[in-house]
Amino acid sequence: MNAIDRTPADLLRSALAADPARPLVTFYDDATGERVELSVATFANWVAKTANLLQGELAAEPGDRLALLLPAHWQTAVWLLACSSAGVVAEVGGDPAAADLVVSGPDTLEAARACSGERVALALRPLGGRFPEAPAGFADYAVEVPSQGDRFAPYAPVDPGAPALAVAGVELTGAQVVERAAADAARLGLGAGSRLLSGLAYDTWEGLSSGLLAPLAAGGSVVLCRNADRLSADALDQRLTSERVTVTAL
CATH number at residue 71: 3.40.50.12780
Q: How far apart are the first and last CA of the chain?
A: 25
Domain that holds residue 72: 8-249
**Residue 52, domain member (yes or no):** yes
Q: Three-state DSSP class for 48?
A: helix
pLDDT level of residue 129 (50, 70, 90 thresholds): very high
Residue 105 lies in a domain: yes
The number of distinct structural domains making up the chain is 1
pLDDT for 4 equals: 83
For the question of whether the overall pTM of this predicted structure is more than 0.75, the answer is yes
Residue 35 located in a structural domain = yes
pLDDT at 200: 98
CA 42, CA 28: separation in Å to the nearest integer?
A: 17
Residue 128 lies in a domain: yes
Helix (H) or strand (E) holding 238: helix 233-242
Sorting pLDDT into bands at 50, 70 and 90, what band is 68?
very high
Residue 211 lies in a domain: yes
User: Would residue 2 count as lying in a domain?
Assistant: no
Asked if residue 119 belongs to a domain, the reply is yes
Pick from 168, 111, 175: nearest CA to 138:
111
β-pair type (65-69, 101-104) = parallel
Average pLDDT for the chain: 97
Query: How many CB atoms are closer than 10 A to CB 155?
Result: 10
Residue 3: pLDDT over 70: no
